[in-house]
Amino acid sequence: MSWDFYGRSTELSALKGILERERWFFARITGRRRIGKTTLVQRALAAAGTERVLYVQIPDSAPAGVLSAVADALETFDIDPAICRAPTSLRGLARLVGTLARAGYVVALDEFQYFSRKHLYEFTSHLQAEVDTLSADAGNVPGGLFVLGSLHTELVALLEDRTAPLYNRTTDHIELDHLETSSVCAILRAHADDSPERLLSLWSLFEGVPKFYRDCYEQGVLGATQRDLLSRMFFRSSSPLRTEADNWFLSELRGRYDVVLKYVARHPGCSHSDLKGYVHDMSPQSGEQVGGYLKILIDKYRMIEKRLPIFARPRVKRGRYYLRDNFLRSWLSALANPVAAVNFRPESVLIAQALERLQVTEGFSLERLAAQLYEERSRAGVGEFALTHRMEGYWDRGDTEIDLVAVNDDDKIIRFGSCKRSAKRAVADMPRLKAHAARFLEAHQRYSDWQVEYAAIAPVLDNATRQAICRAGAIPEDLPDLLADLA
Same-domain check for residues 432 and 412? yes
Same-domain check for residues 288 and 432? no
Residues 137-146 have pLDDT tens digits of 999 999 999 9
What pairing do the DSSP bridges indicate for beta strands 320-323 and 270-271?
Answer: antiparallel
On whether residue 369 sits in a domain, the answer given is no
Same-domain check for residues 412 and 475? yes
On whether residue 371 sits in a domain, the answer given is no
- Name the nearest CA neighbour of 181 among 204, 159, 153: 204
pLDDT tens over the chain, length 487 residues: 899 999 999 999 999 999 999 999 999 999 988 899 999 999 999 999 999 999 999 999 999 999 999 999 999 999 999 999 999 999 999 999 999 999 999 999 999 999 999 999 999 999 999 999 999 999 999 999 999 998 767 888 899 889 999 999 999 999 999 999 999 999 999 999 999 999 999 999 999 999 999 999 999 999 999 999 999 999 999 999 998 887 766 666 766 688 899 999 999 999 999 998 988 888 776 666 888 889 888 887 888 999 988 777 777 778 899 999 999 999 999 999 999 999 999 999 999 999 999 999 998 999 999 999 999 999 999 989 999 999 887 776 666 789 999 999 999 999 999 999 999 999 999 999 999 999 999 988 999 999 999 999 999 999 999 999 999 999 999 999 999 988 6
**Per-residue pLDDT at 245:** 81
CATH (domain of 139): 3.40.50.300
**Per-residue pLDDT at 399:** 66
**Per-residue pLDDT at 418:** 96
Same-domain check for residues 201 and 282? no
Same-domain check for residues 310 and 342? no
Same-domain check for residues 169 and 295? no
Same-domain check for residues 235 and 308? no
On whether residue 374 sits in a domain, the answer given is no
For residue 21, give the amino acid letter: R
What is the total count of domains within the chain?
Answer: 4
Domain enclosing residue 263, as ranges? 250-324
On whether residue 62 sits in a domain, the answer given is yes
CATH (domain of 273): 1.10.10
Same-domain check for residues 61 and 169? yes
**Separation of CA 477 from chain center:** 26
Same-domain check for residues 277 and 291? yes
Q: Which of the listed residues 157, 175, 193 is the one where a domain comes to its end? A: 175
Same-domain check for residues 235 and 305? no
Reported pTM: 0.91
